Copies of this chain bind each other. A is one copy, B any other.
Amino acid sequence: MKKAVVLLSGGLDSATVLAIAKAQGYECHALSFDYGQRHGAELLAARRVAEALGAKTHKTIRIGLDAIGGSALTDPGIAVPDRPQEGIPVTYVPARNTVFLALALGWAEVLNAADIFIGVNAVDYSGYPDCRPEYIAAFQTLARLATKAAVEGAELRIHTPLIHLSKAEIIRKGAELGVDYALTVSCYAADGEGRGCGVCDACRLRAAGFEAAGIADPTRYAASPPVRGDSTG
Contact = CB atoms under 8 A, between A and B. Distances in A.
Interface in A100-148: 101-103, 105-107, 109-110, 129-130, 132, 134-135, 138-139, 141-143, 145-148
A106 B102 contact: no
Contacts of A63: 61-64, 103
A145 B139 CA distance: 10
Contacts of A88: 148, 151
Interface in A57-112: 59-65, 67-70, 88, 92-99, 101-103, 105-107, 109-110
Contacts of A103: 63, 65, 68, 95, 99
Interface string A146-177: 11101100000000000000000000000000
A68 B62 contact: no
Given A97-B146, A135-B142, A147-B130, A109 B64 contact: no
* A-side interface mostly: helix
Contact of A129 (B92, B96, B148): B148
21 contacts: A61-B63, A61-B65, A62-B64, A65-B103, A70-B110, A92-B148, A94-B107, A94-B110, A94-B147, A95-B106, A95-B147, A96-B106, A98-B143, A98-B146, A102-B102, A129-B148, A129-B151, A130-B146, A130-B147, A134-B145, A138-B141
